């Protein structure tokens, strides 16, 4: 597997990373399956395992910890904090109070003494950048974490956080984790140029667009992806955005076939072709899923194939804008844009 440097950290990571969102109740995977997935991924050259405290209410971290036991040094271990862990506002966000608690909880669940990459799962509008960066810098200095990054931050917040780190002489975010796929290309117009400017490592999530680019969603067939059961709106073909996605998928299948590739290879090869992207996070639920995704580890798309993709979904375009997670709060809440 090709390896790349994660931003300016000097850490080498594989072009594909193993995402653990499906570990536990979300993906209905037990410990045996999780351990088998981690075994196979590491054997294939994957060295990043990415999880979060929020995934299956902490069970994903527990499963990851058990799966990597005895080979901790072989893994670049990444997790996240910030999304709600309990009811009430005291168990979420980017405050020093919560991050100090959350990191200890994650270390305990993972069964390790440090986390390689600790990421703020979403921007917290209620917390100042200096507060969050100061806490993360202190956690790094204490040896609890090695590097820290963000996930799904709007471009202007990435810039603001970089400024705050310099202004207050604090550690800076080393990575960003945005959603990115052939069907959701909006980050090309704002987030990825900023990450390149600041030398951030980029680990992209949902490169298969939540199953749309896995081959499980085709015209005239019953949807065969786990996400349709707990996110049915994302697959409701009465929605114009989903019809647009289905039209694009059918055309992309043809491009892949002409290039001698599977749709998965096309999709993963597309995101890893972008010079700003360090690694694509895959999220298999089964060994079969993992094998089909690892087959794309060394896929390199030719310029004519990339041009054909551009002709189907234009650069910088999100086919489903409502599915984005980095929209500024004022665009979602009318009260924030009115005096």
Active-site positions? 55
Quick one: residue 315, left, alpha or beta (phi over 0 = left, psi -120 to 50 = alpha)? beta
Nearest alpha carbon to residue 187 among 171, 168, 204, 170: 204
Identify any residues that bridge with 282 across adjacent strands, giving them in sequence order: 18
How far, in Å, CA of 133 to CA of 154, rounded?
A: 17
Angle among Cα 100, 5, 195 to the nearest 5 degrees reads 70
The H-assigned helical ranges of the chain are 31-43, 59-68, 96-110, 129-141, 155-167, 191-198, 227-230, 240-259, 263-273, 287-294, 303-312, 329-332
SS3 177: strand
| Parallel, antiparallel or unpaired: strands 3-5 and 12-14 | antiparallel
Q: Which two tokens stand for residue 236?
A: 């409701």
Asked if 273 and 304 touch (Cβ cutoff 8 Å), the reply is no
């Amino acid at each position: 597997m090709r390896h790349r440097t994660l931003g300016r950290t000097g850490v080498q990571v594989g072009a594909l990373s193993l995402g653990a969102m499906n570990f536990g109740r979300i993906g209905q995977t037990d410990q045996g399956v999780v351990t088998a997935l981690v075994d196979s991924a590491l054997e294939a050259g994957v060295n990043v395992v990415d999880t979060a405290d929020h995934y299956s209410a902490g069970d994903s971290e527990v499963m990851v910890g058990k799966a990597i036991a005895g080979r901790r040094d072989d893994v670049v271990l990444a997790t996240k904090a910030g999304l709600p862990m309990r009811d009430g506002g005291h168990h979420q966000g980017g405050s020093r109070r919560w991050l100090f608690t959350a990191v200890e909880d994650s270390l305990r669940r993972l069964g390790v003494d440090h986390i390689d990459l600790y990421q703020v799962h979403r921007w917290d509008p209620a917390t100042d950048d200096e507060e969050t960066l100061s806490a993360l810098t202190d956690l790094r200095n204490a040896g609890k974490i090695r590097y820290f990054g963000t996930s799904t931050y709007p471009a202007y917040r990435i810039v603001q956080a970089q400024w705050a780190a310099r202004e207050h002489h604090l550690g800076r975010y080393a990575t960003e984790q945005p959603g990115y796929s052939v069907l959701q290309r909006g980050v090309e117009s704002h987030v990825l140029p900023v990450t390149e400017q600041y030398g951030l490592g980029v680990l992209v999530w949902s490169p298969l667009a939540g199953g749309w680019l896995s081959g499980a969603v085709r015209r005239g067939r019953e949807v065969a992806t786990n996400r349709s059961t707990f996110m049915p709106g994302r697959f409701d073909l009465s929605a114009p955005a989903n019809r647009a996605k289905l039209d694009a998928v059918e055309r992309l299948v043809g491009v892949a076939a002409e290039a001698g590739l599977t749709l998965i290879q096309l999709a993963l090869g597309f995101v890893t072709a972008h010079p700003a992207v360090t690694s694509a996070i895959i999220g298999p639920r089964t060994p079969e899923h993992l094998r089909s995704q690892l087959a794309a580890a060394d896929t390199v798309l030719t310029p004519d194939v990339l041009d054909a993709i551009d002709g189907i979904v234009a650069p910088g375009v999100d086919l489903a804008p409502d599915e984005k997670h980095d929209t500024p709060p004022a665009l979602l809440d009318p009260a924030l844009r009115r005096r």
